[in-house]
Amino acid sequence: MRLNLLLIFTFYSLSCLGQTQSEFMNYVDEVHANKILIVFFSRTNNTKAVAEMIHEKVGGKLVSLKLETPYPKGYDAVVAQVAKENEENILPHLKTKISLKEYEIIYVGFPTWGMQLPPPMKTFLSENDFEAKTVIPFNTNAGFGIGSSFETVKKFCPKSHVLKGFSTQGGIERDGILYVMEGEKETEVRQAVNKWLESLQIFTSVSSFHEQ
């Protein structure tokens, strides 16, 4: 609401200075982009691909979460380590550090691991203050859905406005199926992402004002 009122005031100000609607739209796009952060954790690059699709549509800053100590390369070793982290509530240390002060809309992307939110994303959510921010989760999984991941995002962000998330099937690392976001699959997911983003109607007030 605060951002929308600012944009409306700016529209009238620019109109008085003889600026065109097209120029104002460019200004709106720039303001929106500067307020958007897309943070993701991805092992086989499927979640990364979805993050990039979102970025192409909404702009903003795109950030990949990296660990101080990366997970092992072997699938079984990762499964064992993540199971231990979940069981003992261990939050792995992140190499990536991000200040959220300048952002109002934050997309958080992750795969489903053990039917839960991956520990690195738990670390990110626990280390940052999301009060009064809009948080939007997105997910890739091996075909078993989001598990408890979206609910966990809400628990970590109790004072945030958490919007409807997006989920799609990615690879199945256990079976040796890794990156799948190409060809028909990529086209299908991109269309689904665009439809989901449009359904969120984040900037409806500004858009409606423009169309009057």
Tell whether the model's pLDDT for residue 88 goes beyond 80: yes
Tell whether the model's pLDDT for residue 203 goes beyond 80: no
Q: Is residue 95 part of a domain?
A: yes
pLDDT tens digits for range 51-61: 999 999 999 99
138 with 47, same domain?
Answer: yes
Mean pLDDT for the chain overall: 87
10 with 43, same domain?
Answer: no
Quick one: pLDDT at residue 200? Answer: 95
Q: Is residue 68 part of a domain?
A: yes
112 with 144, same domain?
Answer: yes
Q: How confident is the model at residue 30 (pLDDT cuts 50, 70, 90)?
A: low
Residue 167 contacts residue 137 (beta carbons within 8 Å): no
| Pairwise CA distance, residues 102 & 133, whole Å | 10
pLDDT tens digits for range 102-141: 999 999 999 999 999 999 999 999 999 999 999 999 999 9
**Residue recorded with tokens 């970025």:** 55
Q: Is residue 212 part of a domain?
A: no
Quick one: pLDDT at residue 10? Answer: 45
Quick one: pLDDT at residue 202? Answer: 81
Average pLDDT over residues 79-103: 98
150 with 175, same domain?
Answer: yes
Token couple for 45 = 């690059």
Q: Is residue 211 part of a domain?
A: no
The total of structural domains in the chain comes to: 2
Domain that holds residue 165: 36-206
CATH code, domain carrying 148: 3.40.50.360
19 with 117, same domain?
Answer: no
Quick one: pLDDT at residue 24? Answer: 42
Average pLDDT over residues 162-181: 98
Distances (CA, A) of 203 to 32, 61, 106, 180, 209: 9, 18, 14, 31, 10
Tell whether the model's pLDDT for residue 50 goes beyond 70: yes
More confident: 206 or 61: 61
pLDDT tens digits for range 141-155: 999 999 999 999 999
Quick one: pLDDT at residue 6? Answer: 47
**Residue 136 DSSP SS3:** strand
Average pLDDT over residues 163-178: 98
